Structures are given as C-alpha cells and as structure tokens.
Amino acid sequence: MEETFFYNTEVNWREGRTGKLSSEGMEDITIATPPEFPGGVPNIWSPEHLFVASANICLMTTFLAIAENSKLNFISYSSGGKGKVERVEGRFFVTQIELSPKILVANECDKEKALRIIEKSEKACLISRSMKSEIILKPEINIQN
C-alpha cells in the first residue's frame, strides 16, 4: 500500500459570497460564507460545516473499518457533529467538535465491544488527529428491542 496520498479539490467563485467546490469524478457542492459572518449566505455548505463534517465522516469510516476487522455485528450507525467557533485572542477558531455517534447492536454482548471500537476509532481517525480542535466523543450504544 502506498505511503503518500493526494486529494485534489478546486474552488471557483460564482457570485457574492458563494462558489463551487469540485473534484474530478464527484458531484459539485455549492459553498458559501456562513450566515453568521458579514455577507454570509444561509442554507449553503460553509467551510465550517465541511470542517465539522470531515471529523464526523472520518469517525464513521474509521469505525466501519475497525468494526469489520473486529467482526462486530451492528445494525445501524448515525452520528451528529457540532462544531464550536469562538474568538480566541482576537481570531476565530473551531475550538471544539462534539461527535455523537449512535450505534445499534443486536445483543448485550456486542454493546461493550461497540463502545471500545468507537473509542478506538476516534483515536485512530486521521482527520481528527490532524486538527487543533478539541474532539469530544459522546457515543450512545443501544440494543435492538
């Protein structure tokens, strides 16, 4: 397996505070300044949304890989992500990202295993490890009734 990878993206301004994010072979995403900032546009993906989403997506994909390797039988996975932006020493930063994965397992014996795997996944996620933001993991593991 290779040791170095490259991921290419392109951003093109459209009008006002909006643009288009693209990468070869993938669907384009409309992007904008978030509405909380001057000239921001509501209901369009912002860098802040995508930053939080990157940590949330990485947690899921890392969990899927580790769960598969660990032979964890789970029924469903979903996760919320909430990023906290605040001014620190006169500059804005994403200081925290709270990730709230919900994992549904079939029986009690898989509950502890799922918890260990999601905790291991957070530590192994290359995106979270690359961020300065504090990552707060709040997992919820439930058993199917």
Instruction: State how far the Cα of 32 lies from the Cα of 41, in Å rounded to an integer.
Output: 6
Statement to judge: residues 4 and 41 lie in one domain: yes
Six-digit token string for 61: 């994909």
Tally of structural domains, the chain: 2
Range of the domain at 4: 1-45
> Does 117 share its domain with 70?
yes
Q: How buried is residue 39: exposed, middle or buried, by Cβ count under 10 Å (0-12/13-18/19+)?
A: exposed
30-56 pLDDT per residue, tens: 999 999 999 999 999 999 999 999 999
| 35 and 95 housed in the same domain | no
Asked if the model's pLDDT at residue 128 lies above 80, the reply is yes
Tell whether 58 and 37 lie within a shared domain.
no
Q: How far apart are CA 36 and CA 9, in angstroms?
A: 25
- Do 65 and 106 form a contact (C-beta atoms < 8 A)? no
pLDDT of residue 113: 97
pLDDT for the residue 75: 97
Same-domain pairing of 81 and 101: yes
Pick the last residue of a domain from 15, 30, 45.
45
pLDDT in tens, 70-125: 999 999 999 999 999 999 999 999 999 999 999 999 999 999 999 999 999 999 99
For residues 63 and 120, state if they share a domain. Answer: yes
pLDDT band at 24 (very low <50, low <70, confident <90, very high): very high
Q: Do 10 and 80 belong together in one domain?
A: no
53 and 120 belong to one structural domain:
yes
The CATH code of the domain that includes 139 is 3.30.300.20
- What is the DSSP track for 85-133? EEEETTEEEEEEEEEEEEEEESSHHHHHHHHHHHHHHHHH-HHHHH-SS
Kindly state whether residues 56 and 127 are assigned to the same domain.
Answer: yes
Q: Are residue 70 and residue 114 in the same domain, yes or no?
A: yes
The pTM of this model reads: 0.94
Is pLDDT at 57 greater than 80 in this prediction?
Answer: yes
Q: Are residues 53 and 25 in the same domain?
A: no
Instruction: Indicate if 75 and 128 belong to the same structural domain.
Output: yes
What does the pLDDT read at residue 1?
76
